[in-house]
Chain A
Amino acid sequence: MPATSVAAPRLHWMTATVRDVIDETPRVRSLVLGVPEWPGHRAGQHVDVRLTAEDGYQAQRSYSIASAPQAAQLTLTVERIAEGEVSPYLAGEARAGDRFELRGPIGGYFVWTPELGGPLFLVAGGSGIVPLMAMLRQRAAANSTVPATLLYSSRSVDDIIYRAELERLAGQGDGLQVVHTLTRERPAGWNGLARRIDRAMLESVGFAAAARPRIFVCGPTPLVEAAARSLRDIGHELHLIKTERFGPTGT
């Protein structure tokens, strides 16, 4: 199925129950959810989460789905934003057994399915890895050998979300390459990339434009816009570059 619009039942708010909480980094947590009504999703889609205070005040935000469509339980990964209204609860206070409302899945633009093929070039900054991780998890779950490269910018090694799992996936020898770049702190002996994502990096790490890779870029707005511009300048076709931006969190 192409990543075009798909007729779907009307969105409605569903109850999600927190089953498990996983600390990914000091600022990022994954919430494993039980959603009995969940209709299934495609990698790259997101949900809207709605929290209601005792006085009736409601706050609503969007969060990417981290789990593969094949996973038994829906997982969101949330970065705690200090002045946020929703993320301090989701990424800080939420405990197993807590309930909140969500609706989804939402989105048909920033979506990859194994049938779309590859090569697949994923570019992430910070928690922008989340929807791309759903794609990599789906690729692995489907035993896909579509050539895939992830270029992932983090502030430091401790800020790399899903670090162990990415290492494991890249070690399976199924055509996935994971390249990290660290923008603020490097551990002693780090011999990997150590700067913000730029055109030269996209050119040397990614696939040649002639290979017509499907490209997904997700991260803070400045990173996404700079990367999209560079990818276009390198010669990648515009319609193969899909972007998703979020507020600046600094990577």
Chain B
Amino acid sequence: MNMDRQREVPLDGNAAGGRLRELFALDMTAAEIICDGCGAVAEIGAVRVFGGAMGAILRCAHCDTVVLRLTHTPAGLWLDMRGTRRLFVASPAS
């Protein structure tokens, strides 16, 4: 991974793993997200991310619905998951 770009290029949820760990206690890249737009299931690591200095926007690979927005501001961290129907995190033993 070498994602040192200022331009908005699609990367993926792997790149958002660190920022998501600021909120979640578990690794989120292996978590499954179910798109509220089309019902597609994808691991966050496999989902495209459009990023910038402020945060990350994750879009469904099938229908392009924004499934997650993570925004850093000087005041704090914002998480908007309106495009996500469900989030599934497998237990480590499964």
Contacts and interface: CB of A to CB of B under 8 A. Distances in A.
Contact count band on B: 35 or more
Interface string B20-51: 01100111111100000000000111101000
A108 B44 CA distance: 10
A243 interface: yes
Residues of A contacting B: mostly: mixed
Residues of B contacting A: mostly: loop
B21 A247 contact: no
B62 to A, nearest CB: 12
Contacts of B13: 109
Nearest to A79: B2
A63 B45 contact: no
B11 A245 contact: yes
B45 A247 contact: no
Contact of B1 (A4, A10, A244): A244
Nearest to B3: A246
Interface of A: 1-8, 10-11, 46-48, 59, 61-64, 78-79, 81, 83-87, 103-104, 106-111, 127-128, 130-131, 218, 221, 242-249
